Structure 1
Amino acid sequence: METTYLLGAGASIEAGIPATLQMAKLIHESARNDKRICTAIETAVGGLHFHRSVAGKPFGGVDVESLYAILKILGERHNNILGPFVGSWSHTVTAADRPKLGDASDSICRALEDAISHAGDRSEVFHDIRKVREGLEEALVAASGASGSVFMEAAAFVLRQVLQLTQVKEDDQVSYLLPFILQAQRKPLWIASLNYDDVIETAAKRVGIPVDRGLNKDSPTVSFSQHSRICLAKLHGSRDWKLSPDGVIPNSIISWNEEPCMIFGLGNKLTVKGPYLDLLFAFRSRLEKTDELQVCGYSFRDEHVNHIILNWLIYDRRRRLVVADPGLDARRVQEELFINKKSYYIQYHDKMPRNEQIAVCQLKASQWVADQLSRCKKEEGAALNIHGIE
């Protein structure tokens, strides 16, 4: 049986790499030393919570990729295609971008309140004053040439923090993965990863097994050798990859003014720039000869990856998807796989994956590794019995 592995963020938590929700909180704590950056982050978080409350999910957390994406949108809001259709941006956004404007408008509003405190209906007066304040701030922003720079600075700050938080600090932190990596000595491992961290590379280095990442710094194409003991397709890039005109340079030190070769943020994660499409196609090609896909720590939030997995399951009903994640169950996995796939039901209603094709084990990564080792021993024992070897 041919097996392929897909790793998500949950596979790295025990190596000291924070999950996306925890990472956002840690970054906010790190930003407290810079009031401007902290205010920008808090403004973005507040907007995300409001949006989710309106959508009926008021208690959902804010993950680091959502935070980064919103900061980028706010930073580029004046160049956004929807900009001309927005009458005025929220006062909190304007105030975060130009904090001194808020102080100025507060002073003017207080003067106006004092001047008309005894005139007319107070509720109507205060409503009018708020409108005056918004108009005043918009005029001042336009006059000062506001660029959203604080939000762009905050987005860059978040990205730099992500690079630090996704680095394995001590080699011993990856010990729980070593039994899994050591399987490559008996049978090659083909691993797709959605993580930016260096957990797999660190574990492989500890046991002396080279990792083939499919990259060539002299060529933009991706190719994996059939002789490699470990093939690692990092579908969203890596914290230590640098994009050059000729290809991707791994094991790079990213300077403060550079962006790593990573797909980071929300929305459509497919792009022709970089190795990402080639890596995704390599994953798809690998699945064509795969009987079982073992998934650890992936929450099925990437539609392009889900699309490939769903098509793989549909094509052959003997194929199995086995998921290990403490926070998932089979119903949730099926919902995430089939989301926005209503057309599939119309065209392939008789070929949709059967329930028995999808199995979910609520295990954390170390438990999943132990389970893989146990299965491997059973398979080896069965093979010896078939050949009459005790």
Structure 2
Amino acid sequence: MRVKTLVLLGAGASVDAGVPASNSMSEKIGAILGASPMNVHRGVVHAFNYAVGAMIAHRSASGANPYDGIDIEQLFSAVQMLSEKEALEVAPFVEWSSALQAIGAPARIPPFFDKNLKKALQQTRGFNDAGKLIEQLVHAVTGTKDSERTFKELEKQMLVALVDLVEVQPSEVDYLQPLLDINGGAPVDIVTLNYDRSIELAAEAAGKVCDTGITTWAGAQDWDWDAGAFVRLLKLHGSIDWLLLERDGPGGVSEPFVTIRQGPIENFEFSGSGGPGVVFGARGKVRARGPFLAMLRAFDDLLRTAERVLVIGYSFRDDHVNVALSRWLNSSAPRSLYVVDPGFADMTGWEHRGSYQSALLQAAEHFNYQAQTAQPKLHLHVSSEYARPALAKFAEEGLESIPLHVRQRP
């Protein structure tokens, strides 16, 4: 009997396609930024290195391994906050590091300074004007740099670098083909938290119609699908080829809309009314502006029709996704959840207590002490393999190849 499966993809699902993992992506973005002389000159590289160094120092001070790498989403969130640090609610209660005052573009002499000074000195009683000009010069050369503006530019450049890093080639996504047959030849629903186009390319190679629903989104909370689509792909955090823009709505107020980007992202002019259509960073995974709330509702709709869920490479760190999963798990217990993640089964130590993975493991290991029998509230199947070998096994043996997680102790 065919069982309808919903697929949920996290960052680990795209590593085999050449997309860097979150911890290694920070290093790669740093290399891209450092290769630009303009970024060095404007202080962008200085700002990036400062943020990375401060985060490593903070983590190692608490005893963590400083060589584990910096999670790119946490780093981006820090950069976002530093770009608006004086507007944060906590600003009146904290004292920012004095090192931030040194971050920014090199000091510039005020325009036409020499001409204006010469003119002031030649005028009768012009010494007052000359004195003011000299004061302006001293302040420009020795004054505090605008670090917020520099971090705002860094935020933009990190997004541009991200788009380059998650670009995948058609030849690199062949391992994803088994996902298209996960429902035994019937159409498939895939929800991804990744920005890359690996699923679109895999569907194209298989001759299947793939629809993200974004081209028909009209600013409302509804999410419409192409009736002829074989793959319904919900990109909860956006896509590298989406541009989120503003236009005048019928009621006279502006409204967001998404268009598909044509050409390199570097050619797009970032502004307050437009930018890449992605949700990046650990802060603000849900935005009121754009299609993201509508997509969360669509996620709930897809879950309601799913009989089981296959999760690949997701670290369960997005609260909004986890809440939706919890609603599905609790709606008809015990549900069947399949997880492909090399590190998932190790989430049993005290340091992981309180994590969503730990909660799932506890539900799967539920034990009725009165009856002295295992009574799992969740049928949890866990594969410790990476996406490519796990999917290759699916192609031959089906999802049943993932072993059921059972309680290891009485």
Structure 2 CA distance for aligned equivalents of residues 241 and 231 of structure 1: 17
Structure 1 CA distance for aligned equivalents of residues 155 and 359 of structure 2: 30
Shift of 1:145: 6.7
Equivalent position to 1:12, from 14, 33, 37:
14
Does residue 77 of structure 2 align to residue 77 of structure 1? no
Shift of 1:266: 1.3
Given that 2:44 and 2:104 are in contact with CA atoms closer than 8 Å, whether structure 1 keeps it comes out as no
Given that 2:104 and 2:145 are in contact with CA atoms closer than 8 Å, whether structure 1 keeps it comes out as no
The amino acid of 2:163's aligned partner reads L
Shift of 1:230: 0.5
Partner of 1:257: 269
Partner of 1:354: 376
Q: CA RMSD in A?
A: 3.2
Does residue 75 of structure 2 align to residue 67 of structure 1? yes
Q: Which runs of 5+ in 2 are unaligned?
A: 109-138, 248-255, 369-374, 402-410
Partner of 1:156: 156
TM-score by length of structure 1 reads 0.76
Partner of 1:283: 299
Does residue 389 of structure 2 align to residue 367 of structure 1? yes
Structure 2 CA distance for aligned equivalents of residues 340 and 80 of structure 1: 33
Q: Structure 1 pair 324/163, CA: closer, same or farther in 2 (3 Å)?
A: same
Shift of 1:338: 7.0
Partner of 1:28: 30
Q: Structure 1 pair 354/308, CA: closer, same or farther in 2 (3 Å)?
A: farther
Equivalent position to 1:337, from 356, 365, 370:
356
Given that 2:209 and 2:228 are in contact with CA atoms closer than 8 Å, whether structure 1 keeps it comes out as no
Partner of 2:121: none
Given that 2:333 and 2:377 are in contact with CA atoms closer than 8 Å, whether structure 1 keeps it comes out as no
Q: Structure 1 pair 339/329, CA: closer, same or farther in 2 (3 Å)?
A: closer
The amino acid of 1:21's aligned partner reads N
Given that 1:310 and 1:337 are in contact with CA atoms closer than 8 Å, whether structure 2 keeps it comes out as no
Given that 1:6 and 1:296 are in contact with CA atoms closer than 8 Å, whether structure 2 keeps it comes out as yes
The amino acid of 2:101's aligned partner reads T
Given that 1:10 and 1:19 are in contact with CA atoms closer than 8 Å, whether structure 2 keeps it comes out as yes
Does residue 234 of structure 2 align to residue 238 of structure 1? no
SS of structure 2 residue aligned to 1:49? helix
The amino acid of 1:359's aligned partner reads H
Structure 2 CA distance for aligned equivalents of residues 226 and 288 of structure 1: 18
1:298-344 residue CA offsets vs partner (Å, 9 max, x unmatched): 11110110111122112222311110011221746985327899xxx
Structure 2 CA distance for aligned equivalents of residues 83 and 222 of structure 1: 39
Report which stretch shifted further, 248-257 or 205-214: 248-257
Does residue 324 of structure 2 align to residue 308 of structure 1? yes
Q: Which runs of 5+ in 1 are unaligned?
A: 102-138, 380-390
Structure 1 CA distance for aligned equivalents of residues 314 and 294 of structure 2: 21
Given that 1:182 and 1:207 are in contact with CA atoms closer than 8 Å, whether structure 2 keeps it comes out as no
Shift of 1:51: 3.0
Structure 2 CA distance for aligned equivalents of residues 50 and 99 of structure 1: 26
Structure 2 CA distance for aligned equivalents of residues 92 and 30 of structure 1: 24
